């Protein structure tokens, strides 16, 4: 029975439905339970109403302050307003449905964040390799969790300030469009074939010790695939070669978010069409006003400085209707701090009946090597993930996902792991946050899959 269930989950994980799916599969149809549009409650909202809130003295934040009102940025926003949306409302609603199910314990979100600091770093090879690593992780996690894996990538250049004036923002738009087109092609063109992914994972396993836990785990996945073929399942069919893939980014400049906000002609809903998922950190009233009217799922960064009272306040501001799938909480704490602080936050959300998806973000802590290179420790990342799963098990809540700063490239920016990156080999590019390489990311997927399977 277990083997049959695993086969079903593997099949479901590779069945495309909307985002980055073949032409004609995406749609903007209305969704039951997601029709509580904010604009119906407060019709004064518009894509630009955040400006009135800030002008009234609400202040500025999330990158939308003085730089957000410069003439260069406004000129760029005017140009971008005439451009095509980068994603579509139907994709967002399908994504949000999946997140809603994950809130109920019926899914797990996997986000790979390859945020390189230069435009020139974003080429086809970079996108392909990181996409490949995320898919490899998703297959491992599908088997371990026996749940659908919601795959999300942040593989676009994101400008932190006004930099080289408005032209840089226009360039960033075109870079995002190119990256998303590449992802669409890879998602539906056979690159995501289930059998290919398993072969790539076996390549990783071959680099481990003869009796390693990874080999034993991979053999179980292999047995599942052999069973599927033996009963006549065509594992080369489109069901097993196409995937849904979603994008995310952090709100930095509200004028630019406004310029890509569109009203969906099918549903009448508003969407920020710059990405499927929007992340916010310490959102001011201007940001809260903007996201109030768009129907994108939101991610809120939570740290040890977030009190239970503040958390509930933010949840109610960002998701006043308590809709499942609307809000994910991205937890950024060290392992020891997480064991002390996270239970109080989960308890507060449980007490108030809040529907949120808890996501671990274990790759934000970094240190500097004696040679002056920024790095992260694989062991510390693993310890934080273990703490995340331990706390949720103790609280009876669902560990709903993970965000990893990672790349598919064979970089040596984080110390440790089976690939044995040592401190003297650390080579992190200037201005770049240290990223897990492909092998380190896959190793973490095996460890998480083992943990989830034990639940």
- Whether residue 165 is predicted with pLDDT greater than 70 in this model: the reply is no
Q: How far is CA 176 from the centre of its chain?
A: 16
Segment 296-315 shows an average pLDDT of: 97
Tell me the per-residue pLDDT of 3-22, one tens digit each, with 9 for 90 and over: 444 444 454 455 555 555 54
Average pLDDT, the chain: 84
Are residues 246 and 277 in contact, defined by beta-carbon separation less than 8 angstroms?
A: yes
pLDDT at position 118, please? Answer: 64
For residue 350, which phi and psi values (nearest 5 degrees)? Answer: -65, -45
Are residues 7 and 228 in contact, defined by beta-carbon separation less than 8 angstroms?
A: yes
* Token pair listed for 123: 């080429």
Segment 68-97 shows an average pLDDT of: 90
- Whether residue 50 is predicted with pLDDT greater than 50 in this model: the reply is yes
pLDDT at position 55, please? Answer: 85
- Whether residue 111 is predicted with pLDDT greater than 90 in this model: the reply is yes
Segment 351-370 shows an average pLDDT of: 95
Segment 265-292 shows an average pLDDT of: 95
- Whether residue 39 is predicted with pLDDT greater than 60 in this model: the reply is no
Classify residue 375 as left (phi > 0), alpha (psi -120 to 50) or beta: beta
- Whether residue 72 is predicted with pLDDT greater than 80 in this model: the reply is yes
* Token pair listed for 377: 């420790």
- Whether residue 329 is predicted with pLDDT greater than 90 in this model: the reply is yes
Segment 307-326 shows an average pLDDT of: 97
Beta bridge partners, 113, equal 154, 405
As a whole number of angstroms, the distance between CA 380 and CA 346 comes to 22
44 three-class SS:
coil
Segment 374-384 shows an average pLDDT of: 97
- Whether residue 252 is predicted with pLDDT greater than 60 in this model: the reply is yes
66 vs 287, more confident: 287
CA separation (Å) from 146 to 8, 130, 140, 227, 402?
Answer: 9, 23, 10, 16, 16
Segment 119-143 shows an average pLDDT of: 86
pLDDT at position 349, please? Answer: 98
pLDDT at position 119, please? Answer: 64
Tell me the per-residue pLDDT of 192-247, one tens digit each, with 9 for 90 and over: 777 777 676 777 777 777 667 777 777 777 777 777 778 887 777 767 778 899 99
Are residues 110 and 385 in contact, defined by beta-carbon separation less than 8 angstroms?
A: no
Q: List all residues 6 or more positions away from 454 whose beta carbon is below 8 Å from its beta carbon.
A: none
CATH 3.40.50.620 fits 2-22+46-454, yes or no: no
Segment 18-28 shows an average pLDDT of: 44
Segment 330-352 shows an average pLDDT of: 97
In the chain, % of residues over pLDDT 70: 82
As a whole number of angstroms, the distance between CA 339 and CA 384 comes to 9
Q: How is residue 406 annotated by DSSP?
A: B
pLDDT at position 280, please? Answer: 95
2 vs 158, more confident: 158
In the chain, % of residues over pLDDT 90: 58
Segment 35-46 shows an average pLDDT of: 56
pLDDT at position 160, please? Answer: 56
Are residues 245 and 187 in contact, defined by beta-carbon separation less than 8 angstroms?
A: yes
As a whole number of angstroms, the distance between CA 72 and CA 170 comes to 11
* Token pair listed for 177: 């469009």
- Whether residue 73 is predicted with pLDDT greater than 90 in this model: the reply is no
As a whole number of angstroms, the distance between CA 132 and CA 235 comes to 18
What residue spans define the domains of the chain?
Answer: 2-22+46-454
pLDDT at position 163, please? Answer: 52
């Amino acid at each position: 029975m277990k083997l049959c269930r695993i086969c079903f989950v593997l099949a479901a994980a590779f069945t495309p439905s909307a985002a980055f799916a073949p032409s004609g599969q995406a749609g903007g149809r209305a969704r039951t339970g997601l029709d509580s549009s904010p604009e119906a409650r407060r019709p004064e909202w518009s894509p630009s109403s955040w400006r009135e809130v800030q002008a009234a003295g609400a202040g500025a934040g999330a990158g939308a302050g003085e730089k957000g009102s410069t003439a260069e940025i406004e000129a760029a926003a005017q140009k971008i307003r005439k451009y095509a949306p980068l994603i579509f409302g139907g994709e967002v609603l399908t994504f949000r449905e999946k997140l809603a199910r994950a809130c109920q314990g019926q899914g797990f979100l996997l986000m790979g964040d390859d945020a390189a600091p230069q435009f020139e770093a974003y080429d086809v090879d970079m996108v392909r390799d990181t996409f490949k690593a995320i898919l490899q992780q998703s297959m491992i996690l599908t088997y371990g969790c026996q749940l659908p894996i919601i795959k999300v990538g942040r593989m676009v250049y994101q400008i932190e300030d006004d930099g080289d004036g408005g032209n840089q923002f226009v360039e960033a738009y075109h870079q995002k469009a190119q990256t998303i087109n590449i992802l669409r092609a890879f998602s539906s063109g056979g690159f995501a074939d289930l059998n290919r992914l398993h072969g790539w994972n076996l390549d990783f396993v071959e680099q481990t010790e003869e009796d390693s836990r990874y080999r034993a785990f991979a053999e179980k996945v292999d047995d599942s695939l052999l069973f599927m073929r033996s009963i006549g399942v065509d594992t080369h069919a489109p069901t097993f070669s196409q995937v849904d893939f979603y994008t995310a980014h952090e709100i930095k400049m509200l004028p630019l978010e406004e310029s890509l906000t569109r009203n969906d002609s099918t549903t009448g809903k508003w969407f920020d069409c710059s990405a499927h998922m929007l992340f916010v950190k310490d959102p001011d009233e201007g940001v809260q006003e903007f996201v109030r009217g768009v129907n994108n799922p939101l991610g809120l960064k939570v740290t040890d400085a977030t009190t239970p009272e503040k958390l509930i306040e933010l949840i109610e501001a960002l998701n006043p209707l308590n809709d499942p799938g609307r809000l994910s909480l991205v937890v950024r704490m060290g392992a020891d701090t997480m064991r002390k602080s996270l239970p109080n936050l989960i308890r507060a959300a449980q007490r108030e009946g809040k529907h949120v998806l808890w996501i671990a973000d274990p790759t934000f802590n970094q240190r500097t090597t004696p040679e002056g290179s920024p790095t992260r420790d694989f062991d510390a990342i693993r310890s934080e993930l273990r703490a995340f799963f331990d706390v949720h098990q103790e609280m009876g809540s669902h560990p709903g996902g993970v965000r990893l700063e990672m790349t598919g490239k064979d970089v040596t920016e984080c110390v440790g792991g089976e690939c044995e990156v040592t401190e003297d080999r650390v080579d992190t590019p200037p201005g770049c946050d240290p990223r897990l390489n492909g092998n380190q990311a896959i190793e973490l997927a095996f460890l998480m899959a083992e943990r989830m399977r034990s639940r």
